[in-house]
Structure 1
Amino acid sequence: MAQSRNDGNPFTEGGELDNPFQDPAVIQHRPSQQYATLDVYNPFEAREPPPTYEPPAPAPLPPPSAPSQPSKKLSPTEPKNYGSYSNQASAAAARAELLKKQEELNKKAEELDRRERELQHAALGGTSTRQNNWPPLPSFCPVQPCFFQDISMEIPQEFQKTVSTMYYLWMCSTLALLLNFLACLASFCVDSSNGSGFGLSVLWVLLFTPCSFVCWYRPMYKAFRSDSSFNFFVFFFIFFAQDVLFVLQAIGIPGWGFSGWISALVVLKANTAIAVLMLLVALFFTGIAVLGIVMLKRIHSLYRRTGASFQKAQQEFAAGVFSNSAVRTAAANAAAGAAENAFRAP
């Protein structure tokens, strides 16, 4: 019995037509070496183990440089250098400027506090109860002090040095007059013809000592104390004459009662010791004259910077005259007398 067609092997060549795997569509999609799929992956296939992990090679070190000095550890109080020298210098200059401005502000604050205390003191009637302290006389002396003087309290701080210098100048002029009196006394003891000079030296001590204090030092003191243009003008007028007198004292005209250069040279022929004393007095007078001229110029420059003027001095003088009760009383009496005489006239 012949074997039927269906009994044959479908995968043999005779069964090409019936082999489904020979279909061109299937052949086209068979796996190949270029396309690896899960169908061709065999987990049991022996494979080479993966390479072991090796760390990357370290980077090459930089070439060795010159050995540096060990760093100095800063102390807690030592400032650190955060910038260049120029930056530090500018910072130091700025700091110094700030300190200077702070000092000026502190001085102005002290001055304002002082003036405020003065105003409060005056408002409470302190001016009437304030005790005079100059000249500094003992308590048992029958003559009491005539003025109140306190440069540190009454004079603004920027003018205190000038006022103190003028006070020392007045004291030096008084001492020079006393030495002049002693020199003229010694000269009179040697030569009785110098009696007029000795008498005038006594007069100068008694006259110039109080008059110089009242006539030019006190106006200068009150001018700086209250910024008074009137007192400034009084001081300039009188102290200019005082400077002229200082120059005459230094020259020492014989017979005028001044032991200046000329008088000392004249006495040098008679007595050397007395001439040396008179030369010392002449040198003292010369120093006072120079200092007086310098201080006059200095106070004049300060006066110009304060904004004072002659018109302001006139206004102060007029206000002072009309505010004086004695002047007002005298003016009222004069006006009443003139009116009464006018009515009585026929």
Structure 2
Amino acid sequence: MAEPNFPPLPGFIPLKPCFYQDFEEIPEQNRTMCKRMYHLWIMNSVTLAVNLVGCFAWMFAGGGVTNFGLAIIWLLMFTPCSYVCWFRPIYKAFKTDSSFNFMAFFFVFMAQVGISIIQSIGIPGWGVCGWLATLSYFSYNILVALIMLVPTLMFTGVAALSFLALTRIHNSYRGSGGSMSKAQEEWTTGAWKNPQVQAAAQQAAMGAAMGGMQEHQSSPQYDNQV
């Protein structure tokens, strides 16, 4: 098993990487899309960090400490959770053509799209610099509103790109013959846990069956004696 290499942490941090990630192991036909999803995850994480700066400026301009506190939670919680909950499933789905992982990705990423839309809207008190919060602040402090406008535009971009990515991956998956029944079959057989082991087991079973048939055919046959 390959040694984990992600996230690439500096040597002075007493923590080790938790995941193995190498886009070269993704089939060539899926590699570009997989890299785009990784870049989308990075963009989403950077947007949450920029949103923290926007909420910090918002707080000092009279926006309240609640938004800044929630912005910290958004950044610390959703950056690792988004990687584990939707990027890793699509990474494994592209790697092994696993319907179960595709379904896990669709289920979580649809929620991600919804969250991105809510973030771009920017409901005051939710810890995000979206359109409602930003536009309403132009009448109070134009400089702070311009700072808040940066994460607002980034949230809007993440929401649009996320919806586009979801649509393209879903169309590609359905076009390749994927379905919910295939995912349920993988879950029932346990193939989603370790595709390599399952494939080896299937090959061994087929080999045993073929060997049994050959042995049966080669065994001597005797006519019934009356």
Q: Please say whether Structure 1 and Structure 2 have the same fold, judged by a TM-score greater than 0.5.
A: yes
Q: Which position in structure 1 is the counterpart of 2:66?
A: 196
Deviation of the 1:307 alpha carbon: 1.9
Deviating beyond 6 angstroms after TM superposition, the runs of 4 or more aligned structure 1 residues are 321-324
If you compute each CA radius of gyration, which structure gives the higher value, 1 or 2?
1
Check conservation: 2:98, 2:192, Cα contact below 8 A: no
Partner of 1:132, secondary structure, is coil
Match of 2:17 in 1: 145
Compared CA separation, residues 270 and 163, structure 1 to 2 (3 A): same
* Aligned counterparts, 1:1-346, within 5 A: 127=1, 130-152=2-24, 154-191=25-62, 193-320=63-190
The change in CA–CA distance for 1:155 and 1:267 in structure 2 (over 3 A counts) is same
- Partner deviation per Cα, 1:247-299 (whole Å, 9 max, x = no partner): 11111011111101111112212211110011121111111111111100100
State the shift of 1:146 in Å.
0.4
Aligned-residue offset at 1:137: 0.9
Q: Is the 8 A contact 2:51 2:151 kept in 1?
A: yes
Q: Which has the higher contact order (CA 8 A, sep 6+)?
A: 2
Deviation at 1:314, TM superposition (A): 1.1
> Going by fraction, where is helix more abundant, 1 or 2?
2
Report the alpha carbon displacement of residue 305 of structure 1 after superposing the two structures with TM. 2.4
TM-fit CA distance, 1:316: 1.3
**Letter in structure 2 aligned against 1:171:** I
Looking at structure 1, the residues matched to 90 and 23 of structure 2 have their Cα atoms a distance apart, in angstroms, of 12
Alignment partner, residue 203 of structure 2: none
Q: What do the CA deviations read for 1:46-99 (whole angstroms, capped 9, x no partner)? A: xxxxxxxxxxxxxxxxxxxxxxxxxxxxxxxxxxxxxxxxxxxxxxxxxxxxxx
Amino acid at match of 1:131: E
Unaligned stretches of 5+ in structure 2? 195-226
Q: CA deviation at 1:184?
A: 0.5
**Structure 1: stretches of 5+ with no match in the other structure:** 1-126, 325-346
1:158 maps to a residue whose letter is Q
Counterpart Cα distance in 1 of 2:170 and 2:181: 17
Shift in Å at residue 323 of structure 1?
7.2
User: How far apart, CA to CA, are the structure 2 residues paired with 1:198 and 1:138?
Assistant: 28
For the structure 1 residues 159 and 140, does the alpha-carbon distance in structure 2 shift closer, same or farther, using more than 3 Å as the test? same
What CA distance in whole angstroms lies between the structure 2 residues aligned with 1:248 and 1:322? 33
What's the secondary structure of 2:105's corresponding residue? helix
Distance 2:34 2:191 in 1: 27
Deviation at 1:173, TM superposition (A): 0.5
Distance 2:192 2:97 in 1: 20
Distance in 2 between the 1:175 and 1:281 partners? Answer: 9
Sequence identity of aligned pairs in percent?
Answer: 46
Distance 1:164 1:289 in 2: 18
For this pair of structures, how many residues does the alignment match? Answer: 194
Q: Distance in 2 between matches of 1:309 and 1:233?
A: 9
Structure 2 counterpart of 1:6: none
Whole-Å Cα distance in 2 between the matches of residues 164 and 321 of structure 1? 25
Secondary structure (helix, strand or coil) at the match of 1:202 reads helix
